[in-house]
Amino acid sequence: MNTVKTVRELRAAVARARSEGKRIGFVPTMGNLHSGHIALITKATQRVDFVVASIFVNPLQFGAGEDLDKYPRTLAADQEKLLQAGCHLLFAPSVEEMYPDGMQGQTRVSVPQLSEGLCGASRPGHFEGVATVVSKLFNMVQPDLAIFGQKDFQQLAVIKSLVHDLNMPVQIIGEPTVRAADGLALSSRNGFLNEQQRSVAPVVYQGLTQIGGAIKQGDRDFPALIDAQIKQLETAGLRPDYLEIREARTLRPATPEDRDLVILVAAYLGTTRLIDNLHINLDATA
């Protein structure tokens, strides 16, 4: 696996693969790779002939006071994991390579509505930063398909929407969240948890499955379901940021008549913000 750091080298390597008739798959990441990321690479290797990953901790999507500086950077270990997983090319640019003229005057891509509320409410500008960097990366790599984790459900919705609205010829694939044995969604931020916090963290997913179970049983009193789980999170020592039931495709607040639902949560454990979600389609046969 080759690692390139410039857009020029990236384009040359992708052009070579294309000239050999290969289909290109792309997995954008911020590094500190775990099994969740590796599942995305594995999926890509099954779907295309040439897999490109990127590692770039994008300053544009971090707000003031967020964890940009302490976000873990583990390039050597990540390269090894990508190699083992069958990735063909890693693009690991510097901030200067991605934003050569600085970020102030950088053209932005924003996806209204889907970016509002949920994580967008507590992280102003976050999705604009994501949409902008993903658009840039898509233009640099020009992949046939790109794969993202469903753990970032709102992010995936934003990316699908921008690709549709801007007529980008990229197929977007969402892959199921990979979880630890106790249910905690894998995340680079889990590394910030101390032992005690780590032992409490599975309550986030347990809460989602309890609400999901109740809805499947026919309970449609969404406010009561949410209230009970918020109390449960608080009792466990978490500080919920939001816990909401939304219509899965549009992300508008769910009504009792909706059949395709997603329950989304963000909660602080100490200073670490954990997010997770549970998608339940009441019409699905499985």
CB of 44 to ligand PAF, least distance (A): 14
Instruction: Identify which of residues 51 and 233 has a Cβ nearer to ligand PAF in the complex.
Output: 51
> CB count, 10 Å around CB of 95?
14
> In whole angstroms, how close is the CB of 155 to ligand PAF at the nearest point?
6
Residue 23: CB partners within 8 Å, gap ≥ 6?
47, 48, 49, 50, 144, 145
Counting every residue written for the chain, the total comes to 286
Q: Which is nearer to ligand PAF, 127 or 222 (CB)?
A: 127
Exposure string for 245-283, b = 16+ CB within 10 A, e = fewer: bbbbeebeebeeebebbbbbbbbebeebbbbbbbbbeee
Residue numbers at the binding site for ligand PAF (CB under 6 A): 28-30, 58, 61, 130, 133-134, 152, 155
Cβ atoms of 93 and 29 within 8 Å: the answer is no
Closest to ligand PAF by CB, 148 or 222: 148
Shortest CB 37 distance to ligand PAF, Å? 8
CB closer to ligand PAF, 109 vs 254 = 109
User: What's the closest the beta carbon of residue 211 comes to ligand PAF, in angstroms?
Assistant: 24
Which one from 37, 88, 126, 279 is the annotated catalytic residue? 37
- Nearest to ligand PAF of 134, 266 (CB atom): 134
> Smallest distance from the beta carbon of 10 to ligand PAF, in angstroms?
15
Measured distance CA(45)–CA(90) in Å, rounded = 14
Active site residue 37: yes
- Give catalytic residues, as residue numbers: 37
